[in-house]
A and B are shown apart, each in its own frame.
Chain A
């Protein structure tokens, strides 16, 4: 090697190499920073994308919270069921037939439809086939899958289904959930977040063929169970309410009936129902003929698609809080309350009713065309006098009228914890003097026409009269419980405002009691329970035929009201459409049963009964002589019938303790194997209470009086729970409903 060559190599090459080294350093650094950018800055984004494709993210559904009534009976509950999914990419020519037949047979699915879904998803790793599969069906499916060796195609996973054990009970209030378990209507919707909890997840890695990886990458996030709701709704009261409304719907053939039972003192809603309603277990099924007929749900599927959707919306709607109606004469109690509170009228204000009154170019008539004569505010309510009401309205003027309209809460939402409450709009649902409030409007507003309210507003406002003038904020959720059952929150009753003084409230309440005792509210009378109330009948404006809304609102017992009730009957058919005729008896029945259930002691006044009742004494085991004596004491002279040859009573009908009239029938059996004595049920319709009792005794039966038990001879039987001509055991108790159709129109 020559020396100069070496030097030349060293120097010249070195210079070039340094540049190359620099380029290499720059390139390596660039690579490193590029990797740094991708790992550190873009890392999260790419990691998420990677996980999204490679992780099988199984959701562990948090059990949705339960909805309880106030007695902790379940109204809505989630139960474990199963869902079935397949891996369509594993469906091959060979196993396709098996897969289709197993799925269609065990899950009751259409083969053609199923085949198309599988084809549409061919190549994907996941296709949900069906949810809400019951445990037994899941076992059958698994068995069939094993037999056919298609376990690599068909899978099952736990799923959750919502059950409503009460079926349609309080359905418009509770609402229902969708297939994915989220609340769609009612409390299920409003409290969806509370009930839902947080779903857990199990994340397992899967390869690009959706198979679990063996390197056991698994992360589990535990599900946080949903909270539960305890409602103010009392299942017993709700049932009483719903049964009464169901009967009223049938009796009146109305389009809708609504009813709310409220705790007068707190505003807690004890019962709330709308009929027709639906079964939240199957919310899409239209149950009631009213809806089927109204929406004309017949014809081809395509033709009835829209009507069916409309009918569903109708049956899901909580109309008692959402829909407005003219309250009619019920509103007079608020008018009188306001006028009395302001001193516009007092107990002794008099008015001579001639049956008509002229307002501008309008003449307003009373139901009674000859007029009520000389009236006080008390008789204004008792007679439900329109002309006096219009006069009181005029005396108050628009400003004062509106002051109390607002104070009783009719110009605002009640704020109830339910979704879809109707929102009052000035100029649409009510008149505000600051906007427009004519004298004509004032006149019709005074007797409850031209103003719109919801049943919930009415029952809340009526409660204010019952509880000494406090307007409460109604509520249905009493408590929220965490998954361990510990209360997370407890609702405290909220007083929105003092509307009228306790004195005014007590005075108006006593007049309302007279309405039920002597006036248009007679049919809501319940012996011993001192019902205060007001009836209302309003014409529906805008309907093609002349249609009405009959309603009743009241509370009981008047001295210390426990419950307030509103009953609204929308578009009753036939000539009985007055609230006093059709709504008051429903309210009376509900008040009677509810207060009895609540254990409120009745306090009877003198002559409250046309027929005195008492529990039947126990005479079993006595000699026939002794028994006869026991059943024949003064004031309790039962009609005794003895069956058999024995000397000792072995059984009695009715049983000891059953409430019957004190002169009712008691059948004593003296032989164990004696043939039952039978009686034929008479026709009670049109009979007064005394007549009915007499007819029953004649037939060898007892009556239980439902509805107004007044001795007035206009109060007559209109319904009996066992049809006439039916043969029943002698001594049995037949419930007969009484009402009056006279003097109850407003």
Chain B
């Protein structure tokens, strides 16, 4: 009995044995996946026909489909893993691998003037996709481990700290400050590595994820006030110097001046607007987009949402938004009801990351903010991004098995 009991315990340590996955979350996700795959096919086939070697209309679809299958398989496997057990491992390994790969991307030959990708053979991989997830895992682990330090006001005990605190007669240097600065440093390193590869949108996402995670981790409000002031000053600095890269300035200029360079800087965004505008209330019908006919460049990528609106209209776009909202809501419910802080932070962090991506992508496609390349999760073409996103979903499902949701 003993060995058997020991084995069971061991299995329980590494795997989720009990508890079913949250069916609602799974359903919302599957609906999004199916719609996303169909729309990706519709948006991509003209472009695929035109630009692939054998005029293969299904070129992107086939690849995306395989990645979805792999991703769903990975997700289901991950949903069985007892994430708690690997808390430290995920943080250390995730951060280590991410930084390493981001570093490798930096020394890879530039592609389109950026160092965002790693190329191996015909295969390309964007390490920032992984980094986003690794950052969630790392911050979740840190916020969990340092939680007491974060919420406490206990001063640091080192000589220097004591002196400073005495000077100000307040516990300025305390455990909370130390933990937060440490996490801030981690976020800064992630962001720094991503922006070094000229990947502004990735950097924005990294910072946004970091902020959301810290917020979920009960870091006090004054830090965010300070952060906003700091970010504002940083923006002012970038704005008033030439630190922004040329193309970023172009994009901001193009966003401000709607008539600027219609065949160049504003081509893509204008075509996206035409597509959205052409959709109307109910859209032209799936497959009926005309702007995917080589007007919207790479319609399967970042601008896919414009083709989606063109084909299924405002109503279809609303349904998709509602599905994502439901996914986020369900992820938050799973997180809040999770008995451990680590799982709660991951579940919520992951769904908020998806939400931030959806919002930023739509804001770009609707010309509400300057153009920056953020893929539309589960819709835009991209194998590794799909794989990572589904792996994240696997974590949420895994957490849902342990969550104490009243069903």
Contact = CB atoms under 8 A, between A and B. Distances in A.
Interface in A49-64: 49-51, 53-54
B362 A34 contact: yes
Interface string B213-244: 00110100000000000000000000000000
Nearest to B366: A34
Interface residues of B, number: 50
Given A9-B344, A32-B317, A25 B325 contact: yes
Contacts of A213: 290, 293
Interface string B44-57: 00100000000000
B218 A13 contact: yes
B277 interface: yes
Interface stretch (B116-124, B158-166, B184-192, B268-276): B268-276
B375 to A, nearest CB: 16
A597 interface: no
B382 interface: no
A205 B335 CA distance: 49
B325 A35 contact: no
Interface string A29-73: 001101110111011111101110110000000000000000000
Interface string B303-335: 000000100011001100100110011001001
Contact of B341 (A9, A205, A209): A9
Main secondary structure of the interface of B (DSSP, over half): helix
Interface string B340-359: 11001000100010010011
A54 B290 contact: yes
A109 B277 CA distance: 44
Given A13-B344, A39-B276, A50-B277, A215 B287 contact: yes
Nearest to B365: A35
A14 B348 CA distance: 11
B103 interface: no
A45 B295 contact: no
B294 interface: yes
B277 A39 contact: yes
Given A35-B309, A50-B278, A208 B273 contact: no
Contact of A40 (B147, B281, B288): B281
B89 interface: no
A27 B361 CA distance: 12
A40 B280 contact: yes
Contact of A36 (B46, B314, B340): B314
A10 interface: yes
The CB with the most chain A CB atoms within 10 A, among B275, B279, B335, is that of B279
Contacts, number: 139
A28 interface: yes
A46 B295 contact: no
A495 interface: no
A207 B277 contact: no
Interface stretch (A16-24, A394-402, A621-629): A16-24
Given A35-B309, A39-B313, A47 B295 contact: no
B212 interface: yes
Contacts of A27: 355, 359
A31 B273 contact: no
A24 B278 contact: no
B275 to A, nearest CB: 7
A42 B274 CA distance: 9
B293 A35 contact: no
Interface of A: 1, 5-6, 8-10, 12-14, 16-17, 20-21, 24-25, 27-28, 31-32, 34-36, 38-40, 42-47, 49-51, 53-54, 205-209, 213, 215, 217
Instruction: For the complex of A and B, list the 4 residue pairs with the smallest distance between their C-beta atoms, beginning with the closest.
Output: A46-B277, A50-B274, A207-B293, A31-B362
28 contacts: A8-B147, A9-B341, A10-B336, A12-B218, A16-B215, A17-B216, A17-B332, A20-B212, A20-B352, A24-B352, A24-B359, A28-B321, A38-B309, A39-B279, A39-B281, A39-B317, A42-B273, A43-B279, A47-B280, A49-B277, A53-B274, A53-B295, A205-B290, A207-B293, A207-B295, A213-B293, A215-B288, A217-B288
